[in-house]
Amino acid sequence: MDNSSDDKQLAQQRGLSRRGFFTSVGTGAVVAATAGRVSAQRPAEEIAKPEEMGKLTLLVNGRKQKLLVEPRWSLLFVLREKLGFTGTKVGCERGECGACPVLVDGVPHHACMMLALEAAGRSITTVEGLMHGEELGPVQQAFLEHDGYQCGYCIPGQVIAVEGLLRKSQDRRTKTFVMP
């Protein structure tokens, strides 16, 4: 017997041939490709059923807003997509960039990091809520007059942050502190 027939007999005894190996690898690749297509056909996000949605009443810019929300929706999503307050911008959605702050009970909060349900019963002020009718609020006007802007995208968040800082310092001046 020659060496090649010895190799074939040895491979048959082990149960694995070169042809069998490539056939199994090819079959695995087909299964993997097919599984990828099947999972891609399902929606990436499943929409909550109406019975899973919760009723929510928000006080935004002094007005009550009633709506149905999914428990996972951020305050940013609800403000922009459901209520139309587009001054609050979508940036990093991780609370790092500063494009989405709103005042919650007078304190700046990243709207992307707060669930809409967490804001129930609290007063929310967006950059639109700082205006007095068609007139800009004092901080907005100061940004305009003193060229306090760059590209403009994150300016609403900066205005909210300044407004929150000014409100905090004003609160400190009006309160009497007693040293222990």
pLDDT tens string 1-45:
556 666 556 555 666 666 666 666 666 666 666 665 544 454 545
Q: What pLDDT does 42 receive?
A: 47
Q: What pLDDT does 178 receive?
A: 46
CA atoms within 13 Å, Cβ hemisphere of 31: 6
Q: In whole numbers, what is the pLDDT of the chain averaged over residues?
A: 82
Averaged pLDDT for residues 99-118: 96
Confidence of residue 175 (pLDDT cuts 50, 70, 90): low
Averaged pLDDT for residues 89-100: 92
Give me the percent of the chain exceeding a pLDDT of 70.
67
Q: Which long-range contacts (CB under 8 A, 24 or more apart) does 95-98 make?
A: 97/154, 97/157, 98/154, 98/157, 98/158, 98/161
Averaged pLDDT for residues 114-119: 96
Instruction: Please give the model's pTM, rounded to 2 decimal places.
Output: 0.67
